[in-house]
Amino acid sequence: MAALYLAQGIPWGFATITLAALLAEQGVDAGTIGQMLAAVVLPWSFKFVGGPLVDGIRLPGGRRRPWILIAQMGMVATLLGLSQGGLGSPDQLTAWLLAHNIFAALQDVATDALAVDVMPERERGRANGIMYGAKYGGTALGGAGLALLIQQFDWSVGTLAQAGVVGAIGAVPLFLREPKPDQLPQSSTTHWISTLGDLLNKRSFWWTLALCLMIGLPSALLTPLANTLFIEQYGWTATSWAVLNGGPGVIAGLVGAVAGGFLVSWYGPGKIGILAAGLHAGTMLIFPLSPELFHDKDVVSLTLVVQSAAAGAVTVGSFTLAMRVAPPALAASCFTALMAMQNLSTTTGYWAADRLPSEPTRAWAIVAGMWLFVGVVSWLADRSGPRGELRTPPAQ
């Protein structure tokens, strides 16, 4: 499953880091970049459509595996189409990326449903950390890796390499083994309705939903402005900015996700969520308090790395909370609906990016406040539901 998350991460890093930086270098404004990124993320906001398909339609070869294979083939085909375009045709790029992410979102639905099927409660924090860490690894390859490859060679070489790697990973599902059909829950429509009613009566579900609707908003709001600000005003090149975000930034996110997964297993997603979100907000407030630090590349790099690690930990905690409230009978439908709300919040942030104040100190202060709110909601979501089984922390 980690390999499948790696395959998701490569095109994601390419679109959100490399492509965004290249367009910013060409003088494309933050609003236009934000709208393109919103179109790319849009299919992930509708993952709830795929949930009932994956839960209710069983194809030959397993409950989840055939859906994963179909999605992987579509991902590779659309990446091959993307490689035939170029930076001079942004509408064509957007169309191919939109098509690709429809298949990537379907792959994610089936992979998440498989994870809910096979993961015991006490292992979910660590497993989510490892899986999401793999997506960060893919984002690093698609961000820093493809940025350097395109700079060294050209667009077609970088994008074809991307398609080749994702295609190779696509062979992994051929070796997946799922639980036997009689080991998986069999649910009637009546049972589904009853389970849904029980779910909607739980406070923990509504707090988790609120968290998912908020968690992607802060970073998405700031990303287009940060791209144009640092490249156009503070002396970064598109490649150096993409390498920072896709290299140290993504590696820090990977470490934060994996370490956060273990910490969530030991201490719970609420505590880790509020501490990590507070750390993220604190490093952002450095800039409104000392605006001259926007010009200091070392400080910018350090804070970006810390923020990436903190965001990884918060996100893994939200995954654990979403898995906790998802009943087995509605595993794919419930969990992927909550994940779709996370992506809807990201889409909303990209669409609204041009409404964020262009003055850096105000923008950074607003987004820091939003991160603090995310931390509080994460804590409330954890406290409002039954506490999951936590592992004992290692002896000091």
The H or E element containing residue 47 is: helix 47-56
Backbone φ, ψ for residue 211 (5° rounding): -60, -45
Residue 158 has pLDDT above 70, yes or no: yes
- The pLDDT of residue 122 is 67
- 128 has pLDDT over 50: yes
Cα angle 66, 119, 205; round to 5: 100
Residue 182 pLDDT: 46
pLDDT, tens digit, 9 for 90 and up, residues 20-38: 888 888 877 777 778 778 8
Lowest mean pLDDT among 121-135, 231-245, 375-389: 121-135
pLDDT at 396: 40
Q: Are 308 and 252 in contact (CB under 8 A)?
A: yes
At 260, list the tokens.
Answer: 């956060």
pLDDT band, very low/low/confident/very high, at 124 (cuts 50, 70, 90):
low
Q: Is 392 a residue whose pLDDT tops 60? A: no
Burial 322-336 (b: 16+ CB within 10 A, else e): bbbbbbebbbbbbbb
Query: Does residue 99 carry a pLDDT above 70?
Result: yes
Residues 6+ apart with CB under 8 A from 53: 67, 109
Whether the Cβ atoms of residue 176 and residue 65 lie closer than 8 Å to each other: yes
Q: Please tell me the distance from the alpha carbon of residue 87 to that of residue 91, in angstroms, as a whole number.
A: 10
Show the domains of the chain with their CATH numbers. Answer: 2-173+192-383 (1.20.1250.20)
- Tell me the backbone φ, ψ of residue 62, rounded to 5 degrees: 135, 170
199 contacts: CB under 8 Å, gap ≥ 6: 205, 325, 327, 330, 334
